[in-house]
């Protein structure tokens, strides 16, 4: 019985063979199991049959080959990679069915056949954590909760809802860093998040605008920079903000050592958090600028002499540090400096994260409520901007979101967009690094000056 495969898998195999070969496979020696009509199947053919009965295959617009389960959550699994790849899954499944491991050569032969089938399909986009439903944010968005049941949040101008991904919705991929979000709950408030962070009143509205934009794919995103002296819980705040919208096995990472290290981090997560930066080397400054607005990493494909792999990504970035020292002007222009107060009354790490975990579903729901309101305002805001009635910053799409937030909160004299534009002017004056010139003061010194107070954004 150990060499038997199910009738369904056998039928799927022969159906696949009929599409790819005019004749059934000939007997090629040992390592085969009996099939209908006395034919023998090699281990490679058994693996192909098993895969074909369970998955559909395709290729992404970035050239990644993937498989999607025919039954169960519609989450794309890359054919090759680490422990979550299809190759690893097929090896585990074969061992579970037969009580013995498939040989490396059998797996390699099977994967070559499966890859050939995937390459024959028309390319489609694969998304990480968030995906658009149309050309513009107001057309709707989808948030992958990263759960085993495949549930997603569909967000439109009319509201948000949680359900398994529909067949006509965008396809998501996950990385080994992807962790699940809680199912969001209605009726929450961002005041719960505000109570867990020691951000200044002046910085809070800009932080909220960064969070809202962080759920919008396909646009350039500003880099959130948390500054403050020792004892301001910058690392904890960084982790909380990352975990709010893109939980990761590594929410706050050390400074990447080189461009390849950075690309690995950026490709695997939608929100990338860097912890305790004491300095930002020039190459990393350039890399973060490109990731904020859209980047591509080109490298030689493994086990290939000439093929290249292109990794394209736009990412949401957050960093923290006491003093990043010198900053290049182009990075400063993409940055939102947020200053943290020193904590006067401390809680244990355990108590703080227990409170955060308990409130997370409500906070996420409140953020989605705010995003829905912003999406509803965007068409009118876009028309005003087209008429020149709204001044937009370099990151114009982010400027539209801030303008929509101003409309949602309806306090004209306390404008998030106006404060952001004023902050841009201050940073342009104070954070300028040119070749051969002395660098300007650290960014948090510019942020320390108030830029106007407004009521707390409670969601």
**Does residue 108 form part of some domain?**
yes
Q: Identify the pLDDT of residue 332.
A: 81
On whether both 333 and 442 belong to a single domain, the answer is: yes
Kindly indicate the confidence band of residue 41, based on its pLDDT and cuts at 50, 70 and 90.
confident
Q: Identify the pLDDT of residue 13.
A: 54
**Does residue 174 form part of some domain?**
no
Q: What are phi and psi of 400, to 5 degrees?
A: -65, -40
pLDDT digits (tens, 9 = 90+) for 279-322: 888 899 999 999 998 765 555 444 444 455 555 678 999 999 86
**Does residue 452 form part of some domain?**
no
What single DSSP character describes residue 138? G
**Does residue 44 form part of some domain?**
yes
Q: How many domains does the chain have?
A: 2
C-alpha angle with apex 404: 398 to 410, nearest 5 degrees?
140
On whether both 112 and 195 belong to a single domain, the answer is: no
Share of the chain above pLDDT 70, in %: 79
On whether both 113 and 220 belong to a single domain, the answer is: no
Domain ranges, residue 62: 7-119
On whether both 323 and 204 belong to a single domain, the answer is: yes
On whether both 76 and 196 belong to a single domain, the answer is: no
On whether both 214 and 105 belong to a single domain, the answer is: no
Mean pLDDT along residues 246-253:
93
Tokens of 261: 């290290």
Q: Which of 119, 148, 182 is the last residue of a domain?
A: 119
pLDDT digits (tens, 9 = 90+) for 199-242: 988 899 999 999 999 999 999 999 999 988 887 889 999 999 99
pLDDT digits (tens, 9 = 90+) for 391-408: 999 899 999 999 999 999
Kind and range of the H or E element at 323? none
pLDDT digits (tens, 9 = 90+) for 113-153: 999 999 999 999 999 999 999 999 999 999 999 999 999 99
Tell the residue number behind the tokens 């097929």, with chain if given.
90
Kindly indicate the confidence band of residue 344, based on its pLDDT and cuts at 50, 70 and 90.
confident
The two beta strands, 308-313 and 151-156, are unpaired
**Does residue 175 form part of some domain?**
no
**Does residue 124 form part of some domain?**
no
Mean pLDDT along residues 413-434:
77
On whether both 111 and 213 belong to a single domain, the answer is: no
User: Do residues 323 and 442 lie in contact, with contact meaning Cβ atoms separated by under 8 Å?
Assistant: yes
pLDDT digits (tens, 9 = 90+) for 450-459: 333 343 355 4
On whether both 195 and 111 belong to a single domain, the answer is: no
Mean pLDDT along residues 49-73:
93
On whether both 369 and 227 belong to a single domain, the answer is: yes
On whether both 380 and 261 belong to a single domain, the answer is: yes
**Does residue 459 form part of some domain?**
no
**Does residue 380 form part of some domain?**
yes
pLDDT digits (tens, 9 = 90+) for 363-391: 999 999 999 999 999 999 999 999 999 99
- 32/42 Cα distance (integer angstroms): 4
Q: Which of 96, 119, 142 is the last residue of a domain?
A: 119
Does residue 259 or residue 446 have the better pLDDT? 259
Contacts of 245 (CB under 8 A, 6+ apart): 129, 181, 211, 214, 215, 270, 271, 316, 364, 367
On whether both 226 and 363 belong to a single domain, the answer is: yes
Query: What CATH number should be reported for the domain holding residue 263?
Result: 3.40.50
Q: Identify the pLDDT of residue 313.
A: 72
Q: Which of 58, 84, 119 is the last residue of a domain?
A: 119
Chain mean pLDDT for the chain? 84
On whether both 53 and 199 belong to a single domain, the answer is: no
User: Do residues 95 and 102 lie in contact, with contact meaning Cβ atoms separated by under 8 Å?
Assistant: yes
**Residue (of 275, 325, 277) closest to 443 by Cα position:** 325
Q: Is the pTM of this model over 0.85?
A: no
**Residue (of 164, 70, 87, 146) closest to 78 by Cα position:** 87
Q: Identify the pLDDT of residue 5.
A: 53
Tell the residue number behind the tokens 């023998």, with chain if given.
40
User: Is the predicted pLDDT of residue 433 greater than 50, yes or no?
Assistant: no
């Amino acid at each position: 019985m150990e060499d038997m495969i199910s009738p369904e898998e056998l039928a799927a195999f022969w159906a696949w063979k009929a599409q790819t070969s005019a004749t059934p496979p000939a007997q090629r020696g040992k390592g085969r199991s009996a099939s209908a009509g006395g034919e023998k199947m090699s281990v490679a053919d058994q693996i192909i049959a098993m895969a074909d009965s369970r998955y559909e295959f395709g290729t992404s617009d970035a050239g990644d080959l993937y498989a999607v389960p025919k039954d169960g959550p519609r989450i794309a699994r890359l054919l090759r990679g680490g422990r979550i790849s299809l190759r690893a899954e097929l090896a585990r499944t074969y061992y579970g069915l037969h009580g013995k491991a498939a040989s490396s050569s059998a797996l390699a032969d099977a994967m070559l056949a499966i890859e050939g089938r995937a390459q024959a399909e028309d390319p489609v986009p694969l998304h990480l954590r968030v995906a658009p439903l149309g050309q513009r944010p107001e057309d709707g968005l989808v948030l992958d909760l990263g759960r085993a049941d495949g549930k997603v949040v569909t967000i439109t101008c009319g509201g948000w809802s949680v359900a398994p991904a529909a067949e006509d919705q965008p396809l998501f991929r996950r990385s080994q860093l992807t962790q699940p979000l809680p199912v969001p709950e209605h009726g929450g408030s961002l005041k719960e998040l505000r109570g867990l962070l020691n951000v200044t009143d002046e910085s809070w509205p800009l932080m909220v605008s960064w969070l809202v934009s962080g759920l919008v794919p396909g646009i350039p995103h500003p880099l959130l920079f948390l500054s403050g002296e020792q004892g301001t819980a910058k690392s904890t705040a960084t982790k909380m903000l990352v975990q709010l919208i893109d939980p990761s096995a590594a929410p706050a990472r050390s400074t990447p050592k080189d461009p390849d290290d950075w690309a690995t981090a950026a490709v695997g997560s939608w929100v990338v958090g860097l912890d305790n930066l004491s300095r930002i080397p020039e190459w990393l400054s350039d890399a973060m600028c490109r990731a904020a607005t859209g980047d591509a990493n080109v490298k030689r494909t493994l086990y290939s002499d000439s093929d290249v792999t292109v990794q394209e990504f736009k990412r949401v970035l957050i960093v923290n540090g006491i003093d990043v020292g010198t900053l290049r002007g182009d990075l400063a222009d993409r940055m939102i400096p947020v200053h943290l107060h020193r904590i006067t009354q401390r809680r244990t790490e355990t108590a703080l994260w227990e409170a955060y975990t308990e409130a997370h579903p409500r906070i996420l729901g409140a953020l989605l409520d705010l995003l829905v309101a912003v999406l509803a305002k965007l068409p009118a805001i876009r028309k005003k901007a087209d008429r020149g009635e709204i001044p937009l910053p370099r990151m114009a799409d982010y400027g539209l979101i801030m303008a929509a937030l101003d409309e949602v909160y309806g306090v004209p004299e306390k404008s998030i967009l106006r404060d952001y534009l004023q902050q841009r002017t201050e940073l342009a004056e104070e954070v300028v690094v040119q070749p051969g010139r002395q660098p300007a003061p650290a960014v948090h010194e510019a942020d320390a000056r108030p830029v106007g107070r407004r009521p707390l954004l409670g969601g």
